[in-house]
């Protein structure tokens, strides 16, 4: 099934332009509808319950600070839409207008409320959700919005680096371990794999591993994808680091992988492949849980 509708979350932070750029690039190549979503925080409802010792003046100061930040983020998000879509002469449509199938079109949703709730609302009826990895100061945003899209939308998520990239998907690397998550990621990425110029299947040689990259290559061949197998032996570093190194050697501009094969808590405490990829990937990563 082709990608027909893409959702890009633009919070007005440092990675918003990267999310817009990646979504529009994919939308053009897939002739898909691209919906840009900005959810503005409601300062009044965002302030926690006032506890003892917090004066009314302090509460008002906090509300005012949140209001100013929300307005600045709204203006940056709207500015990106105007720059990359309206001024660029793209096929801009109203947010709730129906666009023709197989037509590249763009719309903007500017809402006030809970970003997590709105990402789930729109993400569950999109074929792919694009989220930018924030810088270190904004890391908290990744935890809530990204987790909601990955774990609760039932759809794949494309995590892009905070710096805009020129094009993606011409050379795709697949992190293959034969897990349920990796299998779902491959299925979600099929529209991109069939359009890619090069596909490489990365499989780590590890004790007890049942991953056989040639089996996946044979499956992809039935979909018209000529994939090259690429087995490697991880070094002394983490498997996540090794995967990124091998993807770089393969000159991939997109990595496809399953996310959180172990529990979220276990990976938070002990570390894991997903966490390493999320923190260090210099290329976009398509993930599926």
Domain segments of the chain: what residues? 5-160, 171-288
Kindly report the CATH class assigned to 5-160: alpha beta
Nearest of 151, 209, 215, 145 to residue 186 by alpha carbon = 215
How confident is the model over 54-95, as pLDDT tens digits?
Answer: 667 777 888 888 889 999 999 999 999 999 999 999 999 999
Is 171-288 in the same CATH topology as 5-160? Answer: yes
For 184-273, strand residue ranges (E) read 198-204, 227-232, 254-258
Output 142-146 pairs: Cβ under 8 A, ≥24 positions apart: 142/278, 144/115, 144/116, 145/9, 145/11, 145/115, 145/116, 145/119
Crossing angle of helices 180-195 and 213-221, rounded to 10°: 40
Burial class (CB in 10 A: 0-12, 13-18, 19+), 42: middle
Pairing of strands 128-132, 157-160: parallel
Q: Which has the higher per-residue pLDDT, 25 or 240?
A: 25
Kindly report which listed range (30-34, 145-149, 231-235) carries the lowest average pLDDT score: 231-235
The answer to whether the predicted template modeling score (pTM) of the entire model surpasses 0.85 is yes
Q: Are 15 and 26 in contact (CB under 8 A)?
A: no
16 sits in which H/E element: helix 16-30
CA distances from 226 to 2, 170, 193, 248 (A): 18, 13, 9, 20
For the chain, strand residue ranges (E) read 5-9, 33-40, 105-112, 128-132, 157-160, 171-175, 198-204, 227-232, 254-258, 285-288
Confidence check: pLDDT of 266 > 70: no
Kindly report which listed range (6-10, 141-145, 252-256) carries the lowest average pLDDT score: 141-145
Q: Are 289 and 183 in contact (CB under 8 A)?
A: no
Which CATH fold topology does 171-288 show? Rossmann fold (3.40.50)
Mean pLDDT for the stretch of residues 283-287: 94
How confident is the model over 22-51, as pLDDT tens digits?
Answer: 999 999 999 999 999 999 988 777 666 544
> What is the predicted pLDDT for the residue at 207?
66
């Amino acid at each position: 099934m082709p990608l027909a509708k893409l959702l890009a979350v633009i919070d007005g932070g440092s990675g918003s332009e990267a999310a817009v750029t990646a979504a529009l690039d994919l939308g053009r190549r897939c002739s898909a509808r691209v919906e840009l979503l900005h959810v503005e925080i409601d300062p009044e409802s965002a302030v926690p319950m006032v506890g003892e010792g917090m004066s009314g003046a302090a509460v008002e100061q906090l509300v005012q600070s949140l209001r100013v930040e929300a307005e600045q983020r709204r203006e940056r998000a709207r500015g990106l839409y105007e720059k990359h879509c309206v001024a660029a002469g793209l096929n801009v449509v109203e947010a709730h207008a129906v666009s023709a199938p197989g037509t590249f079109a763009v719309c903007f949703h500017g809402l006030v409320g809970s970003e997590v709730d709105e990402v789930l609302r729109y993400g569950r009826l999109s074929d792919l959700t694009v989220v930018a990895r924030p810088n270190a100061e904004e890391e908290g945003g990744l935890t809530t919005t990204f987790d909601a899209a990955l774990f609760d939308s039932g759809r794949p998520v494309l995590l892009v680096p905070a710096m805009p990239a020129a094009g993606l998907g011409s050379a795709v690397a697949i992190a293959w371990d034969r897990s349920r998550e990796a299998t779902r990621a491959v299925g979600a990425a099929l529209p991109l794999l069939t359009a890619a110029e090069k596909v490489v299947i990365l499989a780590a040689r590890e004790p007890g591993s049942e991953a056989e990259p040639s089996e996946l290559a044979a499956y992809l061949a039935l979909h018209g994808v000529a994939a090259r197998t690429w087995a490697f032996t991880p070094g002394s570093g983490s498997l996540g680091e090794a995967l990124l190194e091998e993807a770089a050697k393969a000159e991939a501009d997109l990595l496809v992988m399953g996310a959180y094969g172990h529990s979220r808590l276990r990976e938070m405490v002990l570390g894991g492949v997903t966490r390493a990829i999320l923190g260090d990937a210099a290329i976009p990563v398509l993930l599926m849980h």
